[in-house]
Structure 1
Amino acid sequence: MAKAVFPGSFDPPTIGHLDVITRAAGAFEELIVAAGVNQSKNRLFSDDERVEMLTELAEPFPNVRIATFSGLVVDFCTAQGASVLVKGLRTAADYDYELQMAHLNRRMTGVDTVFLPSAPEHGFISSSWVKEISKLGGDVSTFVTPSVHTRLLAKYE
């Protein structure tokens, strides 16, 4: 089995992300969940907070580790010795975008991409929507883990 990287912003991590982590952890010898670090992006959670939340999510999986990266994800894959990227797909629009990226990434470095379609019950969940609903006082407790929910509530108090 190969070493894989599951990249994302994870701002915040959702139960959809947890579903992908769970399934990918079972399919690969090692899974690196890599939170992107980009100083130009205005994130709700700091890099350290996102790593803490992801570490909590990954705790049950001995073959999963959490890391951060900046720059090109394929360069991170090469540096980590990972030959596969894991991407979760919610919609056909995700597929259209991610397929182009997969071709580009393979052409650049030879890193392959594995697509995991979301479980139907998670297909509508996105970090952006979770933040927006939470900011407006809506209940997002079924879209995130309890500890992430607690952190979201604290951010918007």
Structure 2
Amino acid sequence: MRIALFPGSFDPFTKGHEDIVLRSLALFDQVIIGIGNNVNKKRYFPLETMKFHIEACFSDYDSVKVIAYDDLTARVARELGARFLLRGLRNTTDFEYENGISQVNRFVYEEIETVFLITSPHLAPISSSIIRDLHRYGQNVDEFLPYDLMESAES
């Protein structure tokens, strides 16, 4: 079984992220979206809220799971039986950053392969940090997200 872990802070999970997951389903039997705890970032949206929204986005897809984790991504991938890390690239800056991380992941878990998918052109300008800034200052961000932020995780 070809299992891919799609790791990220997903703060928030965007239409760009959704696009990467949906396109990757043609390549993998199972895609696990892993919401990682990045010690260098303070979350804007609560992790449980984001997990709720991502699970709702993929509720019709048996081959997509969502987890939260607090460990090295490569170790989590090994524990899950994932031989692939899935990453989306918007530009060359993303590549430079992701390339270094992929090398370190191979150090931790030799059998892991990082698969890069280029973001669909119409979604390339979208980034979680830009969406956070817009939202923080009261701008409606619905067109960038595959879910309604007003829906509650407590529902």
Contact 1:3 1:81 in 2 (8 A): yes
8 Å CA contact 1:25, 1:61 repeated in 2? no
Which runs of at least 4 in structure 1 moved beyond 3 Å after TM superposition?
38-41
Deviation at 1:97, TM superposition (A): 1.1
RMSD: 1.8
Residues 72-83 of structure 1 aligned to structure 2 (within 5 Å):
72-83=72-83
CA 1:40 to 1:116, structure 2 compared with 1: closer, same or farther past 3 Å? Answer: closer
Structure having the higher helix fraction is 1
Q: Is residue 3 from structure 1 mapped to residue 3 from structure 2 by the alignment?
A: yes
Tell me which residue corresponds to 1:154: none
| Matches of 1:9 and 1:140, distance apart in 2 | 18
Aligned residues: 151
Matching residue of 1:129: 130
Superposition pairs for residues 16-55 of structure 1, below 5 Å?
16-38=16-38, 41-55=41-55
Query: What is the CA-CA distance between 1:109 and the residue it aligns to?
Result: 0.9
The answer for the alignment partner of 2:114 in structure 1 is: 113
Among all aligned residue pairs of Structure 1 and Structure 2, give the percentage whose two residues are the same amino acid. 31
**Structure 2: 5+ residue runs without aligned partners?**
none
Match of 1:56 in 2: 56
- TM-score by length of structure 2 reads 0.89
Amino acid across the alignment from 1:109: Y
Could you tell me how far apart the structure 2 residues matched to 1:85 and 1:127 are? 20
Task: Tell me if the contact between 1:86 and 1:114 (Cα under 8 Å) persists in the aligned partners.
Answer: yes
User: 1:45-102: CA deviations, max 9, x gaps?
Assistant: 2221111011012123210000011121000001101000000011100001111211
Judge which range, 111-120 or 134-143, deviates more: 134-143
Query: Which shows bigger deviation, 14-23 or 52-61?
Result: 52-61
